[in-house]
Amino acid sequence: MSIRVLVADDQAMVREGLRLILDLQDDIEVVAEAGDGQSALRAVAEHAPDVVLMDIRMPGMNGLEATERLLRGGRPGPRVLILTTFGEDEYLYAAMRAGASGFLLKDSPRAALLHAVRTVADGSALLDPVLTRRLIEDWVRRPPPGSTVPEPLRRLTPRELDVFTGLARGRSNAEIAAGLVLSETTVKSHVAHVLAKLGLRDRVQAVVLGYESGLVRPGDLPAPPG
Instruction: Convert the pLDDT of each residue in 146-176 to its tens digit.
Output: 445 667 788 889 999 999 999 888 888 899 9
* Residue 55: strand pairing partners: 83
- Count of positions (residues) in the chain: 226
Q: Nearest Cα to 152, choosing from 199, 189, 99, 193?
A: 199
Give the other-Cβ count within 10 Å of 160's Cβ. 17
CATH 1.10.10.10 domain span(s) along the chain: 144-220
**pTM above the 0.85 mark?**
no
Q: Which amino acid would we find at residue 69?
A: R
CATH 3.40.50.2300 domain span(s) along the chain: 3-126
Q: Among 2.40.30.10, 1.10.10.10, 3.40.1710.10, 3.40.50.300, what is the CATH number of 144-220?
A: 1.10.10.10
Helix, strand, or coil here: 132?
helix
**Is 70 within 8 Å of 80 (Cβ atoms)?**
yes
- The yes-or-no verdict on residue 220 having pLDDT over 90 is no
- State the average pLDDT over residues 57-81: 84
Instruction: Kindly indicate the confidence band of residue 88, based on its pLDDT and cuts at 50, 70 and 90.
Output: low
* Topology at the third CATH level for domain 3-126: Rossmann fold (3.40.50)
**Is 136 within 8 Å of 211 (Cβ atoms)?**
yes
